[in-house]
Chains A and B, each alone.
Chain A
Amino acid sequence: MELLCPAGSMPALKAAIEHGADAVYIGLKDDTNARHFAGLNFDEAKLKEAARYVHQHGKKLHVAINTFAHPDNYQRWQQAVDIAANAGADVLILADIAVLAYAAECYPKVERHLSVQASATNAAAINFYRQFGISRVVLPRVLSMQQVRALAKSCDIDLEVFAFGSLCIMAEGRCYLSSYMTGQSPNTAGACSPAAFVQWQDNNGTLESRLNGVLIDRFAPNETAGYPTLCKGRFNVGADTYHALEEPTSLNTLDLLPQLYAEGIKSLKIEGRQRSPAYVTQITQVWRAAIDAVMADPQRFCVQQQWQQVLAGLAEGSQTTLGAYHRKWK
């Protein structure tokens, strides 16, 4: 079982490798990947440096090129594949069928993993993508553990699941809420609820967060204000004001680790390329220890309280959830 950690910078990448990641995933410094944030990601030279560093340590480098190519700029997605493959990436994480086909034709020896942005939630969808020679599928965070288990039993392809981090509650790759509000979505711009559209306003002690003018939440003086990700705001439905879609919370599957291991899940992905090297260090340490423990003795595995404390401290809104893996969440 692989531990796959995020890196938005060289220091984060080194932290992941030093603290026990088996592989690291990164993106290029443009909108060809789904974490297109200012100050983040790797240019061509840095990507080469990253590949060298990762390989020197005997680990693997995955490069996410997982937005959907634009019609007037298609070459940019091809170039991203060229750059990543020529720099020595072990794996390309792809979502667009045209980009998948291009990578399969031009770089057949570089593994292709199906990005979560391709939204493959069922066996027929996975079969569809087999024509592009994928070796692994990253499962969307909408499936229950029971559904993950069914896929693991019925599909002879490696599966990767999200283990920890920000929780997308919609089927990834098929959510246009962000472009509805701002014009920019994960699919088209590699961004969700982009920072350029965020406004904060203090009204006599009540802090208001807005996204492109739309009020996402109001925080009383004693509340911790979270980033206005639009699906995690408090809105009115009928007579109630509440988190209509989801609360600010992070996904945490530590409790499910023995089950995921038993089903032969190949890789656990930690979300968070936008997070700091310090975050990557802590998260990698906890998950390395947990995976080592489950692999050493799956029957006797138990979640250590200290791991949960560290993870809770790193979680959005300081709360964690099993998300859709746990049926009751749905």
Chain B
Amino acid sequence: MKFSLGPVLYFWPKAQMLQFYHDAADSAVDIVYLGETVCSKRRELKFDDYMALAHMLREAGKQVCLSSMTLYEAPGELRELRKYVDNGEFLVEANDVGAINMLQEHGLAFVAGAAINCYNQHSLRRLVSMGLTRWVMPVELSQHWLDTLLSQSIISDIRDCFETEVFGFGHLPLAWSGRCFTARSEDRSKDQCELCCINYPQGREVTSQDGTAVFVLNGIQTQSGSRYNLINQLPAMQGMVDIVRLSPQPQGTFDWLTKFKANINGAAPQPLTTTDSNGYWLNLAGMATG
């Protein structure tokens, strides 16, 4: 089982990003996803900066993938996407089928991110025929769903053509909107957002009126209020899941990576906190803990 670092979903200042990826280079992580996947206005790091980080990480022995955006609305955003597609060196994670379209036109292999709607064996097989080499399961699906899908005969005979990856740690990306909720929370319009999300390195917490964590606002993205944590499910993933993704958090990401690696076979289970959840994997409501 390998471990990956997902793209940083929040808007961090450049110095924090560079520090994070230097720590990643020194860590035991196998795969690093790089790129802005939430909002095209976030430009602390530009394409060339990401490429420089990609080279540095590859030289440190990491496999690097470039993650593309999830919600493309403007022609200018598609031009930026084309740069990622044409990078010439690194595998690209598609988070919108528009990216798959471009990658397919170039005959390039791709990773289908969790926001690509692939829910069944026939869709997955079709994506494999288009060039998919790694499938990140949609976050709302369960172990049972994954097991059922992978055991279908039309998948078992191509099982060695692709890897499976599961989002295993961090606040879950649950929705994308035309509206920026962080700007709204500061009573700004999206056009006058002043990139205020840079002030919230772990997003803005949304709680119910009686104090339950409900969501996290991250620009146009809405995340789970709880931190998804599948550390204790790693033994059950053996044979099914090739890669477990940790989503970068401002603190403690690499400590958790160490804990995850120690528990691959169940040798070092961890108690979950009241802010953790694992419901989706267990076929419950996502916010639940089983």
Give me the interface of A with B, judged by CB distance under 8 Å: 68-72, 74, 95-98, 101-102, 118-125, 127-129, 141-144, 147, 150, 154, 169-171, 173-177, 179-183, 185, 187-188, 212, 214-218, 231, 233-238, 240-241, 244-246, 323-324, 327-330
Contact = CB atoms under 8 A, between A and B. Distances in A.
A237 B72 contact: no
A142 B285 contact: no
B229 to A, nearest CB: 15
Contact of B210 (A175, A188, A215, A327): A215
A74 B280 CA distance: 21
B98 A171 contact: no
Interface in B169-191: 172, 174-181, 184-185, 189-191
A245 B185 contact: no
B204 interface: yes
Report the 9 A-B pairs with minimum CB-CB distance, sorted nearest first: A124-B98, A98-B122, A142-B178, A180-B286, A68-B119, A128-B101, A324-B178, A71-B149, A125-B98
Interface string B114-127: 01011111110011
Nearest to A129: B97
Contacts of A233: 208
Contacts, number: 225
Contacts of B24: none
11 contacts: A70-B145, A123-B75, A125-B98, A141-B178, A214-B212, A235-B206, A235-B214, A236-B208, A244-B185, A246-B179, A330-B178
A71 B209 contact: no
Contacts of A330: 178-180, 189-191
A152 to B, nearest CB: 13
B286 A187 contact: no
Contacts of B174: 175-177, 180
B207 interface: yes
B71 interface: yes
A212 B139 contact: no
Contacts of B217: 237, 244
A69 B120 contact: yes
Nearest to A329: B179
A235 B121 contact: no
Nearest to B101: A128
A324 B220 CA distance: 12
Contact of A74 (B122, B205, B209, B210): B122
